[in-house]
Amino acid sequence: MTRAKRRTTGAGRLHTVFGIAVALLAVLFAAAPPDASAADSGDVGVTPVRLPGTPDRQYFFLEAGSGTGIRDAVEISNHSQTARTLRLYAADAYHTADGSFALRTAAEPARDVAAWVRLASSTVTLPPGGKANVEFTVDVPPGTSAGDHIGAVIAEDAEPSAVPKDGSGLAVKYRIGARIYLRVPGPAAPALELRDVRVHHDAPPFALPGHTGRVEVTFTVVNRGRLILTPSASLRAEGIFGRALQRDPRSLGRQLFPGESMTVTETWDGPPFADLLELRVHVDDPATGVAAARTVDLRIIPWPALGTAAVVLCGLLVGWERRRARRRLAVCTDPANEEAFDELGGAPTEESGRPVGAARTTRERT
């Protein structure tokens, strides 16, 4: 029995090499030890100390008047199997561009509640599985305006938890914090500002009813007050043919700290084929009742469709006028249509009354 030789093409060899490479990578990654820095990422806990007779607290919700102070404590826990030395400090909070909660670094100057926090200790060393309670005070300066102030108490590795062996010079430090929401009581005067409202209609080149594209409404919401706001937004459009859009309020999905702003883009699919609209943007904070609104004009004019219709109409008018002219010419040149000729106004005649160009005839007498 003779076995047929198996031919291997270039593509087949490439697939074989690729498969072997993938298999080797899988074996290498499976055999490699896990990254120690990743295992340490959840080994430290920072939580508010539980007060007698109260449930566990996730964050610090504090209240202190201008010129007064408040005392509390934070629990630092080490869940790892090695001793940890942690640096403790307070930091102010803010939101990133995508709305994520973030904290300033230790190198950034404290300007708000972080500047008022005084920790009993700036470092703590914990054995494996150990815990420590660290007291702190928040001293609100005299003359501080009423409102919300947000920050956190942070525990950070005193030394890098992982130093790469490749000589890249990069070191990893982990930090975790317990948020502080401090309210200074008094008339805080919440305020919302709505600005930079822009409308863009993205329509197909030849829009048709039912396929009119999309309207994008972009606007900026600013927290001008001193309280945390959670804004909602609604849209309404009124045109010459009535109400074209009524969108109920919906949460914008994030908080605004005092002085912060956010830019929002709302979309409206399937606007009218043609209309002159007034688009109203309304934002409010349900908790405080503060609101703001702006109205902008939106003109939806399907110029390509109108241009095509105009060309077709002009063609129809030209064709109708040509047919009418040919009909007049046919009537004028046919001697048998004298009555129709007269209805059209007749033709020029000589003084004798004969039409111009008519042949002279002589009637014979008998």
Q: DSSP labels for 142-182?
A: TTPPSEEEEEEEEEEESS-SB--TTS----B--EEEEEEEE
Residue 79 inside a domain? The answer is yes
- pTM (whole model) above 0.95: no
Banded model confidence at residue 325, pLDDT cuts 50, 70, 90: confident
User: Does any domain span residue 6?
Assistant: no
Q: Do residues 180 and 62 lie in contact, with contact meaning Cβ atoms separated by under 8 Å?
A: yes
Q: pLDDT higher for 97 or 358?
A: 97
Model confidence at 8, pLDDT cuts 50, 70, 90, reads very low
**pLDDT tens digits, residue range 86-133?**
999 999 999 999 999 999 999 999 999 999 999 999 999 999 999 999
**Which band of pLDDT confidence, cut at 50, 70 and 90, is reported for residue 321?**
confident
The confidence band for 275, taking pLDDT boundaries of 50, 70 and 90, is: confident
In-domain check, residue 15: no
Question: Which pLDDT score, from 0 to 100, does residue 73 have?
Answer: 97
Q: Of 160, 184, 208, which residue is a domain's last?
A: 184
Name 90's Cβ contacts closer than 8 Å, sequence gap at least 6.
Answer: 110, 113, 114, 117, 119, 136, 151, 152, 153, 154, 180
Do 58 and 179 have their domain in common? yes
- Tell me: do 287 and 337 sit in the same domain: no
State the pLDDT confidence band at 71, using cuts at 50, 70 and 90.
very high
Confidence bin at 171 (pLDDT 50/70/90): low
128 and 151 housed in the same domain: yes
Inform me whether the pLDDT recorded for 210 exceeds 80. no
Higher pLDDT, 213 or 233: 233
Q: Does pLDDT of 283 surpass 80?
A: yes
Average pLDDT over residues 309-330: 72
| 2 vs 38, higher pLDDT | 2
Distances (CA, A) of 86 to 78, 134, 151, 156, 224: 10, 12, 19, 5, 37
Query: What sign results for the dihedral spanned by CA atoms 155, 160, 164, 170?
Result: positive
Q: Are residues 316 and 237 in the same domain?
A: no
Q: Within a domain: residue 13?
A: no
From 180-194, 326-340, 345-359, the region with the lowest mean pLDDT: 345-359
Does a structural domain hold residue 25?
Answer: no
3-state secondary structure of 232: strand
Instruction: Identify whether residues 92 and 111 lie together within a single domain.
Output: yes
Regarding whether 151 and 56 lie in a shared domain, the answer is: yes
The pLDDT of residue 223 is above 90: yes
Q: Could you write out the three-class secondary structure of 172-227? A: ECCEEEEEEEEEECCCCCCCEEEEEEEEEEECCCCCECCECCEEEEEEEEEECCCC
Question: What's the mean per-residue pLDDT of the chain?
Answer: 80
Q: What residues are paired with 262 via a beta bridge?
A: 221
Q: Which amino acid is at 127?
A: P
Q: Which of 71-75, 158-162, 311-315 has the highest mean pLDDT?
A: 71-75
Domain that holds residue 323: 305-343
| Residue 248 pLDDT exceeds 50 | yes
End-of-domain residue from the set 184, 202, 225: 184
87 located within any domain: yes
Pair (332, 220) in one structural domain: no
**Identity of the residue numbered 231:** P
CATH number at residue 226: 2.60.40.10
DSSP type of residue 114: G
280 with 243, same domain: the answer is: yes
18 belongs to a structural domain:
no
**Is residue 306 scored above 60 in pLDDT?**
no
193, 222 in Cβ contact below 8 A?
yes
What pLDDT score does 34 carry? 32
Using the predicted structure, report yes or no on whether residue 304 has a pLDDT greater than 70. no
Q: Which of 15-24, 78-87, 248-257 has the lowest mean pLDDT?
A: 15-24
Whether 240 and 166 share a structural domain: no
323 shares a domain with 244 = no
207 vs 213: which has the higher pLDDT: 213
Reference 113, options 158, 174, 64, 185; nearest CA is 64
**Domain total of the chain:** 3
Does 91 lie in the same domain as 173?
yes
Over 70: is that where the pLDDT of 72 sits?
yes
Q: Based on the domain organization, do 216 and 137 belong to the same domain?
A: no
Distances (CA, A) of 38 to 29, 30, 33, 35, 240: 15, 16, 11, 5, 61
- Fill in the amino acid letter for 114: A
Q: Is residue 277 part of a domain?
A: yes
Pairing of strands 60-63, 123-126: unpaired
Q: Quick one: pLDDT at residue 202?
A: 84
Report pLDDT for 43: 86
- Position 264 pLDDT exceeds 60: yes
Chain-centroid distance, C-alpha 136? 39
